[in-house]
Amino acid sequence: MAETKARIGKGGRVVIPSRFRRSAGLKEGDEVILTLDEAGLRIRTPGQAIKQAQDLVRKYVRAGESLADELLRERKREAKRE
């Protein structure tokens, strides 16, 4: 894991060093997601956040199973009951 120090500037701005931006594929104007938890402050790209959520869900869904298909089947059953 790479680590560096940075200073908080005027208005709460933090400059992300260029090697970190390049490694993360970040360009000026890109959106990032900030998370504050017990481990500290994390900066992630939306893609990284999506992958993390997918990995979490994957633990609870069997291989070859589609949550979207399951939701559609459930909605159709509900519609028939109405």
Query: What is the CA 22 to chain-centroid distance, rounded?
Result: 18
- Domain locations in the chain as residue ranges: 10-81
**Separation between Cα atoms, residue 19 and residue 41, nearest integer Å:** 19
pLDDT surpasses 80 at 80:
yes
* Domain 10-81 CATH assignment equals 1.10.3470: no
Average pLDDT over residues 70-74: 91
Nearest residue to 14 via CA among 4, 24, 22: 4
Model pLDDT for residues 8-60, shown as the tens digit of each residue:
999 999 999 999 999 999 999 999 999 999 999 999 999 999 999 999 988 88
Residue 66: pLDDT band (50, 70, 90) is: confident
pLDDT number for residue 67: 85
**Separation between Cα atoms, residue 68 and residue 64, nearest integer Å:** 12
pLDDT number for residue 62: 83
Prediction pTM value: 0.65
